[in-house]
């Protein structure tokens, strides 16, 4: 199962944002998309999901043009996991997750026993079953992000497209969520996520893609794509790459800054 955007061109009111961007996601991989603020990452995700139509270029799902898929069919293949938001109503975690069953049940039908069992299984799998009856508005950011992932899994989608899922989470929740996404990829889900932290793809991410000047300028193994030169190109800062004694890449650190500890 895969989704692919090829040679995408897109402009907002005549102002070009994407100028030939190509990016694909397959089941079983965790892919990080990096780009500076305003580079067009969210726009590219929305185009991949069919929420925005490119001026030029093609989006295909399993090799078939996106336009040929019905919304409900598509919802059971690809799910969008938005940034954590505050819901207008205090739905419970279980109710939010159950919303993912809508493409399967239809808008006018209440979820049945099978839908409830499916959601219960997912909440347990994600380790948030104990939060099921808590209000979504009264749980932490990390727990909300897991609830939104539960909603996507309840949709039965195998491909998850996530816009900055780690933004606003404390360090512990970032590590735990990244770990969870890595395991979902191992279980056969495809996960595409944007991030602003070039250190995150150094652990657990099979592929990283860089969006620069409207195009994907590099797409491959983090060890090959994430170089000090690439970080300079992306963000305009000089960094050095810290290595472990066995040669593995550990983290980027800005050069020229005083080391205090």
Ligand X SMILES: Nc1ncnc2c1ncn2[C@@H]1O[C@H](COP(=O)(O)OP(=O)(O)OP(=O)(O)O)[C@@H](O)[C@H]1O
42 binds ligand X (CB under 6 A): yes
Q: Is the Cβ of residue 49 or residue 153 nearer to ligand X in the bound state?
A: 49
The Cβ-side half-sphere exposure at 100, using a 13 Å CA radius, reads 30
**Taking CB under 6 A as the rule, does residue 12 contact ligand X?**
yes
The Cα–Cα gap between 132 and 134 comes to: 6
Verify binding: residue 40, ligand X, rule CB under 6 A.
yes
User: Considering the complex, what minimum distance in angstroms separates the CB of residue 204 from ligand X?
Assistant: 21
Which tokens belong to 116? 């409830």
Applying CB under 6 A, among 5, 24, 39, 225 the residue interacting with ligand X is 39
Shortest CB 89 distance to ligand X, Å: 26
For 106: left if phi > 0, alpha if psi spans -120 to 50, otherwise beta; the answer is: left
Which of the stretches 32-40, 79-87, 168-176, 223-231 binds ligand X when contact is defined by CB under 6 A?
32-40
Please identify which residue in 34, 35, 149, 205 interacts with ligand X, judged by CB under 6 A.
Answer: 35
Q: At what angle do helices 141-154 and 171-186 cross, to 10 degrees?
A: 20
Instruction: From 36-44, 75-83, 233-241, 244-252, give the range in contact with ligand X by CB under 6 A.
Output: 36-44
| Residue 118 CB, nearest approach to ligand X (Å) | 32
Question: Which DSSP state fits 66?
Answer: G
Q: Rounded to the nearest 10 degrees, how much is the dihedral formed by the CA atoms of 22, 179, 244, 252?
A: 50
Q: Could you tell me which of 122, 7, 121, 116 has the C-alpha nearest to residue 55?
A: 7
* Interface positions, 43-82, toward ligand X (CB under 6 A): 43
Angle at 166 between CA 147 and CA 123, to 5 degrees: 20
Does 17 bind ligand X (CB under 6 A)? Our answer is yes
Shortest distance (Å) from residue 157 CB to ligand X: 21
CB 80 within 8 A of CB 152: yes
Applying CB under 6 A, among 21, 30, 41, 80 the residue interacting with ligand X is: 41
Question: In angstroms, what is the minimal distance from the CB of 209 to ligand X?
Answer: 12
By CB under 6 A, residue 37 contacts ligand X: yes
Q: Which is nearer to ligand X, 19 or 120 (CB)?
A: 19
Kindly state whether residue 38 participates in binding ligand X, applying the rule CB under 6 A: yes
Q: Which is closer to ligand X, CB of 23 or CB of 93?
A: 23
Mapping DSSP to helix (H, G, I), strand (E, B) and coil, where does residue 118 land? helix
Q: Identify the CA nearest to 8 among candidates 17, 20, 24.
A: 20
Residues that bind ligand X (CB under 6 A): 12, 17, 35, 37-43
């Amino acid at each position: 199962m895969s989704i692919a955007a090829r040679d995408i061109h897109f402009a907002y009111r005549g102002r070009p944002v994407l100028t030939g961007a190509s990016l694909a996601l397959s089941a079983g991989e965790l892919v990080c998309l990096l780009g500076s603020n305003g580079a067009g990452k969210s726009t590219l995700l929305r185009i991949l999901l069919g929420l925005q139509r490119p001026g030029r270029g093609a989006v295909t799902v399993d090799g078939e043009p996106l336009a040929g898929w019905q919304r409900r069919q598509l919802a059971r293949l690809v799910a969008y996991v938005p940034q954590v938001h505050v819901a207008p109503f205090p739905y419970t975690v279980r109710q939010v997750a159950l919303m993912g069953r809508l493409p399967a049940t239809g808008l006018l039908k209440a979820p049945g026993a099978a839908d409830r069992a499916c959601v219960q299984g997912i909440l347990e799998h994600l380790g948030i079953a104990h939060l099921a009856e808590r209000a979504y508005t009264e749980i932490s950011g990390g727990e909300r992000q897991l609830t939104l992932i539960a909603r996507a899994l309840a949709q039965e989608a195998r491909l998850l497209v996530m816009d900055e899922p780690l933004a606003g989470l404390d360090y512990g929740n970032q590590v735990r969520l990244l770990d969870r996404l890595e395991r979902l990829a191992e279980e056969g889900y495809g996960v595409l996520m944007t991030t602003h932290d070039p250190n995150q793809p150094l652990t657990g991410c099979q592929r990283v893609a860089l969006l620069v000047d409207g195009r994907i300028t590099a797409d491959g193994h983090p060890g090959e794509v994430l170089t000090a030169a690439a970080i300079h190109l992306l963000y305009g800062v000089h960094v050095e790459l810290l290595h472990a004694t066995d040669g593995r890449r550990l983290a980027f650190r800005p050069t020229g800054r005083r080391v205090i500890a």
